[in-house]
Each structure stands twice: as C-alpha cells, then as structure tokens.
Chains A and B, each alone.
Chain A
C-alpha cells in the first residue's frame, strides 16, 4: 500500500527539476481545461455553429446583418464607443498610474484602495450609482440648477453621454493597473541617468519613461477595448434606445426573441472584428516583441 503510494507519488512528483513532470502538470491543469470546455468552448462553439448550420450550411444570417443598416449602425456605434472609452481611460489613467509610482507607505495604500475598491464592487452597483448621479432629479442636475447654471434639468441619462461616462469609470482600473505595473518596473536609475546626461523633466518623461511604459499602455488599451466591445450591463442600465450595443442586441436575440442563429452570427462577427483589431494592433506596434525583450 505504502509502496504503491510512493510509486504514484514518484510518478507525479519529481522534486529534482524545476519543471513539474507531465502527469502532475496534466492533473493540475485538467480541472480548468475540463471546466473551460464544458462551460465556455462548447456553448460558444455551438452558438457560433448554429449561425451557419441551420440545419444545413447557410450564410443567410450574415447576409441579413449586412443588408440591414440598423445592425451595421449598432456595430459601428459599439466600435466607436470602444475607441472613445479606451481613449478616455488612457488619458485619465496614465497620470494616476504615474502619480502612484511616486507614492509610498500609507499614501500608496490609499491610492491603491481607491483604484481597487471600485474594481471589487459589482458593475451593477457602480452603474446604479451613475443613475443616481445623472438622472433627471439626480445629484448633478440638482447641483447645476442650484448654481443657476441651467433652468431645467439636462438630459444626462439614457444616452451616449451616460454610457460613455459610466463605462469609462467602470473600466478605468483595467487601464491604471497595467500602466502602473509597467511604470513600477522602470529602474529608478534610468530617469536619474537621463537627468545627469542633461535631460530636463519633460525629456526624461518623453524619451525614457513613456517609451518604457508602452507595454503596460498596450495591455491596458487592449484589455479596455476588448472589454468595452462586449460590455453588457452598463449600457443596458444607463443607456437608452439610442445606445443599443452589440452585446445588448445579442442578449435580446437569445433571451427575448430566441433567435439563436442570428445571435450566433452577431457573436461571430463581434469575435471576428475583435480578433482582427487585436492582430492589427499587435502587428502595428510590434508589442509582442517589445514585451518579450
């Protein structure tokens, strides 16, 4: 009994090398792979398959999308919103990440908490918070009217403005954290060396700090852009009929209209566009190589 157990342990665990032996690796990776297959790859694959096999091979659903200006407009709006939100988060996140590298001790703890606590808070809660702030008789309108800046409440909610604001807020940590991580790995000596060689603060930043933080910027941009393309909850809550996004559309088709082939076609299109953009982005900036070196 003990002997066979020992033999099993020896097969699974060879403490002589730095790598785990193959059986142990499989055992460790196995549950995740099975879970991913059952809960993710299989259903998504089926949804995608159903878009072209109904029951025979057909591209009718894709033709339907291409021929209808409404769906193309929704697609265009989703992409444009993704770009806007990515750009806004980048502009807002970089200074925050940069300041965080200058902090230490309790100041850094407070700053990190300010970034992470929203991340740990449910998207639902954060979206409702924006409803409270932006609604007709909400915080912002009360303040604006109280200051006498407007006579009537401004339409701040259920439009593209509210979706953009809420999504930027929700996705901000995904931009701050990778940029902060990249900035933190820049050795302190490098900006000092640049200074001693005659670079003023402006040049130290643009010639040394910014280029070296680009891998973090790229991760943040990719992450925020991809997340925003498929964002569902926030646009559904703070958006209106004018701000219907692809993800919301897919939701409607699957849960309300039960038009699975059409939902599958939309999902395939969104996935294809995302993959294409990521590939182009990587090619264009050569970020894989930069990150590797």
Chain B
C-alpha cells in the first residue's frame, strides 16, 4: 500500500472558494418525546471553521443533518448565504459533506467517486476527469484514481471523501466526526492537514466532534452543545479561560469543581467558603454576576495546572486549602497529583516535571493556592 502524500496546500489547482455564511435561528427538533435540538441559534461567518462539540446525544449531529438537509427542523430556520434552505431538499443545497465512515461508493473507482458530484452537475466527462484528478492531487492521492475504495486504507478513503466533497467547490463543507475511525497519530496529522486545506481554500467548515482536543486544535470558534442546547460559543481560548458554566469547564480540558457558599460578593474578586471550611477567592463568571447574594450556594472551578502546591502551614491564612497527597502519577511532561482535602472531592493538580515548583511525595501534607483570576465562581 502506497502511503499518502500530505495535502498540497500550495498546489496550483487550488483556487480559493468563496465561503458561505450559515445561520441557524431558534432551531427545535423532536424525535417523539425526545428533544434532540432545543432552540439553537448560531451564526457562522464566511470562511470560518466552527466545531460543534458535545457528548454523544447532545444534538450536534442532528444539527448538522439539518444544515445538510437530511432532517427538517420542527421550527426555526437554516439559512445558507442568507437564503432560507429549511425546506430545500439536500441535493439542491450545494453543501459538501464528509461522513465518519467515509461513505464512498464501493462499486465505483476512486475517480468515479470524486467525479460523482460533477456528473450530477452536468459537467462534461473530460472536464470532470481533469477536475477530479486535480482534487485527488490536492489531497495527496495522485495515481490512485483507478482503484476501488476497498483497496485503500481508512486514512486514504477519508482523503478521497474530502476530495469528493471539495471538487465542486461548495461554499460550505460539513464534516461529521470525519477522523473518528482513524488511529490517534493519523488523526492528529489529518487534523492539521484539513485545517490548512480549509484555510487555503477559504471554505466555511462546520465540524462535528466529541473530541475537545480536536476542536481546540482545528476550530476558529467552538460551539459546545449539551442536551440539545448550546452551552457556549467562543474561541478555543475563551472557552478554556472563561467557560460560561461548570459543564463547559468540565468538558473543555480538565477542571476541579468545588462546592461552597458565597461569603463576600463585591467587585472582581469574590470570597467563598468551601465545603471543608477554607475561605478562598475567585473571579465571578459572567453569568454568576447577576443575582448572586451572600450565602448562596456556588461552585468554584480551577484548572489543575493553575493550582500551586505549597508546604503545609498549620493555622495559616484562609486563602489556602489544606490537603494530603493521595497519589502522584508521572505523565511525561507533567506530574499529576491527586489530593484529598476535608469535605471536598478528590482534586487534581498538574506540575511541569521541568520546574522549580514543590514536588511533594505521597502522604505529604500540602497547601493549595491559586491566583483568584484563574478560579471561576459559578
């Protein structure tokens, strides 16, 4: 089996596509009594790469199916380039689609697969062939055009699917977990290649995934979905640094969620008493600023790498949490500390191996501190 060449973004046949805009307006979709999508509104700009991220059953694939035209919303509208396509059949929408299981036609050669959308558009045979060969070269599969899909590896098949979805230059490309069936190394390489291809083509991409790392790597903006609703839409940095709610905080990256009671709510730093009794400080999340009163139940979210370990200080200041090291795990670039504190769930702290930070042993008593700017109160 010949290995595929990387995708040529500098290939001369790669003329930019004018990306389309996609807007979804209060979309609702029920299946019987189950609400798959519950009032989602989202706008995607020209040439933007947006990831729909969520656990399985969150409605992200259903939303994609409605943009593609395989499902109709019960209410709400899907607009592509300002045109309401909610009731337009899939074959007239002119969007590209890449499926998780490639969905290549097994009875057609690679060339016929890639030329299929051109054939549907009445492109003459000769031109069809040249364009399909161009598209195959872009995805690094020159010389494979006479083979059948079954003779290609999974990664190669997905490249063919990609070539087939861009060969007719659709303004919008939809991708439904396209790398889900590939192994980790290949997946990571394809992520970067697809991202580069999207950037050099200028096509608008809506990309469904349940893999938060993939979304962080590839997307300009990420729309986090849960139980049919949009939890938050933002750039990868916004989602990681300022998650709107505990669900997003837990879904994007790791986080420690601690229950507590609000002690002082004034200005940019709030004080709260954790379940174990320690009084700590954090920054209120945007949604928490309204209507939070002293005495309210709140939650604090701190990322494992934003917590600092310090020697235990018996009877020290209230801004520290006393804990014991339950376990230390060597994870290559970082050491993972599992810590136990009175009245709190087990906490995780990551310390870079190459650092001067304190590296306590198992069973040692420590104090946990953090910059209040890095701890969010919900």
Residues of A at the B interface (CB closer than 8 Å) are: 187, 189-190, 192-200, 203, 207-208, 211-212, 290, 293
Contacts and interface: CB of A to CB of B under 8 A. Distances in A.
B69 A189 contact: no
B75 to A, nearest CB: 23
B117 A198 contact: yes
B205 to A, nearest CB: 14
Contacts of A200: 89, 91
Given A198-B121, A293-B150, A211 B107 contact: yes
A190 B105 contact: yes
Interface in B87-115: 89-97, 99, 101, 103-107
A290 B174 CA distance: 32
A212 B107 contact: yes
Given A196-B68, A196-B91, A198-B121, 5 more contacts: A189-B103, A192-B70, A193-B103, A198-B168, A212-B107
A33 to B, nearest CB: 35
B159 interface: no
B148 interface: yes
Contacts of B329: none
A197 B164 contact: yes
Nearest to A203: B120
A83 to B, nearest CB: 27
29 contacts: A187-B101, A189-B99, A192-B68, A192-B70, A192-B97, A193-B99, A194-B116, A195-B69, A195-B89, A195-B90, A196-B69, A196-B91, A196-B93, A196-B95, A196-B174, A197-B97, A197-B116, A197-B168, A198-B91, A198-B94, A198-B117, A199-B91, A199-B120, A200-B89, A200-B91, A207-B105, A207-B116, A212-B107, A290-B107
A192 B348 CA distance: 44
A262 to B, nearest CB: 47
A57 to B, nearest CB: 50
A233 to B, nearest CB: 39
B97 A193 contact: yes
B286 to A, nearest CB: 38
Interface residues of B, number: 29
Contacts of B89: 195, 200
Nearest to B164: A197
The residue in A192, A211, A212 that gathers the most chain B C-beta atoms within 10 A of its C-beta is A192
B223 to A, nearest CB: 21
A239 B70 CA distance: 51
Interface in B134-167: 148, 150, 164-165
Nearest to B65: A192
B178 to A, nearest CB: 12
Interface of B: 68-70, 89-97, 99, 101, 103-107, 116-117, 120-121, 148, 150, 164-165, 168, 174
A279 B204 CA distance: 53
A130 B97 CA distance: 52
B278 to A, nearest CB: 53
B173 to A, nearest CB: 10
A192 B107 contact: no
A256 to B, nearest CB: 51
B69 to A, nearest CB: 7
A133 to B, nearest CB: 42
A293 B117 CA distance: 24
A290 B121 CA distance: 28
Contact of B96 (A190, A194, A196): A196
A195 B91 contact: yes
Contacts of A187: 101, 103
The residue in A189, A198, A290 that gathers the most chain B C-beta atoms within 10 A of its C-beta is A198
Given A194-B116, A195-B70, A208 B105 contact: yes
Nearest to B112: A207
B70 A189 contact: no
Nearest to A214: B107
B89 to A, nearest CB: 8
B95 to A, nearest CB: 7
Contacts of A192: 68, 70, 90, 97, 99, 103
User: Across chains A and B, which 5 residue pairs bring their CB atoms closest together, nearest first?
Assistant: A198-B120, A189-B103, A193-B103, A197-B117, A196-B97
Nearest to A196: B97
Given A194-B116, A196-B95, A197-B164, A189 B101 contact: yes
The residue in B95, B103, B106 that gathers the most chain A C-beta atoms within 10 A of its C-beta is B103
A187 to B, nearest CB: 7
A199 B150 CA distance: 23
A199 B118 CA distance: 10
Contacts of B92: 198
Contacts of A293: 106, 148, 150
Nearest to A190: B103
A240 to B, nearest CB: 46
Contacts of A197: 91, 97, 116-117, 120, 164-165, 168
A204 to B, nearest CB: 8
A194 B68 contact: no
Contacts of A199: 91, 116, 120
Contacts of B168: 197-198
A189 to B, nearest CB: 4
Contacts of A290: 107
Contacts of B164: 197
A212 B70 CA distance: 21
Contacts of A196: 68-70, 90-91, 93, 95-97, 174
A193 B97 CA distance: 7
Nearest to A193: B103
Contacts of A190: 103, 105
Nearest to B176: A189
A212 B101 contact: no
Contacts of B68: 192, 196
Contacts of B96: 196
A62 B152 CA distance: 54
